[in-house]
Amino acid sequence: MKFDFRISANTLSLVVKDVCQAIVDEYKDEVIKCPTTPEEWLTVATNFERRWNVPHACGALDGKHVVIRKPPSSGSLFHNYKRFFSILLMGLVDADYKFIWIDVGGDGYMSDAMIYNNSDLKECLSNGSIGLPPPSPLPNEDLDTPYLLLGDDAFCLRTYMMKPFSAQNFTKEQRIYKYRIFRGRRILENAFGILAQRWQVLLRTIQQIPETARLIVEACVCLHNLMRMQFPTWQNAVVDHEDVNHDIVLGAWRINANMVDVDHALGPNRDSTAAKKQREYLKLYFNSEAGSVPWQDNMI
């Protein structure tokens, strides 16, 4: 860039940081907005049900390691389990591939669970202050079911956090449940993929101190959401989609990418017991006439 703009490298490095800070200051509150009222969450859940056939889902949660240069005198603080140095971006994504909540404060050694457990998102979910709608029946059902996020094995199973079964030998019903949950979580892989392919600094090792690297990542997320809001149809060409038979057609972003029944469910405490019962109920619902989709048996 110094040759394109005829600016010295040391001056340009300061300009990039200032521009990223300006992007975050100007756009973050506008384009990364976590819902806070039941009505706003219902809009997110309705889109999940309409587009991905997962009712009551209010977002998918996961983390992504962003490679950075080893900071001086940092020891193993930024060294992750994948054996490179990184910071961690954790994001909650809606049905339209937009990030509605992010945390870029994680050091590489930290796991997704550590980031989540120390986050304001976890606190708000636990104490109920996040504003999720009150439990209501699933489509074609009459039993009230809580609204929830879609997670993976990194997160604790709770009534507001559903994840696949951890067993190795799945029954047919468990495979159907896993397919339906992963169908909703597919947006995460696409969101992270689009983000990195459009802002390709995320595909390389960021040669900055961690504080500046976090600022760069935050600016990239802001611009990603801005693009999703202003040019959604044009960007849909690069995401995974389904053909008429509901088989997955891989999106263009992947090119060159680097990157028992309800009454018998028990857990170690009241929260996990209720969550396991809810997961079993969802398993039965996804396999029932009320909650199944016509093509799901062909996907397992």
Q: Does residue 8 fall inside a structural domain?
A: no
| 170 secondary structure, DSSP code | -
14 within domain boundaries = no
Q: Is residue 190 assigned to a domain?
A: yes
Q: Is residue 4 part of a domain?
A: no
64 strand-pairing partners? 89
Average pLDDT over residues 12-29: 91
* Cα–Cα distance measured from residue 215 to residue 102, given in angstroms and rounded to the nearest whole number: 12
pTM over 0.95: no
Q: Do 108 and 79 meet the contact criterion of CB atoms below 8 Å apart? A: yes
10 part of a folded domain: no
Whether pLDDT at 47 is above 90: yes
Q: Write the pLDDT tens digit of every residue in 113-153.
A: 999 999 999 999 999 899 999 999 999 888 899 999 999 88
In sequence order, which residues have a C-beta less than 8 Å from that of residue 263 and are 6 or more positions away?
A: 277
Sheet harboring 161-162: ordered strands across? 99-107, 86-93, 57-67, 148-150, 161-162
The total number of structural domains that make up the chain: 1
Of 203, 260, 201, 239, which is closest to residue 96 (Cα–Cα)? 239
* Local structure of 164: helix, strand or coil: coil
Q: Which domain holds residue 219?
A: 25-299
- The count of other CB atoms within 10 Å of the CB of residue 30 is 11
Summarize pLDDT for 216-233 with one digit per residue, the tens.
Answer: 999 999 999 999 988 766
123 is a domain residue: yes
**Model pLDDT for residues 236-278, shown as the tens digit of each residue:** 555 665 666 666 666 654 555 544 334 444 445 555 788 999 9
Q: Decide if 75 is inside a domain.
A: yes
Residue 35: inside a domain: yes
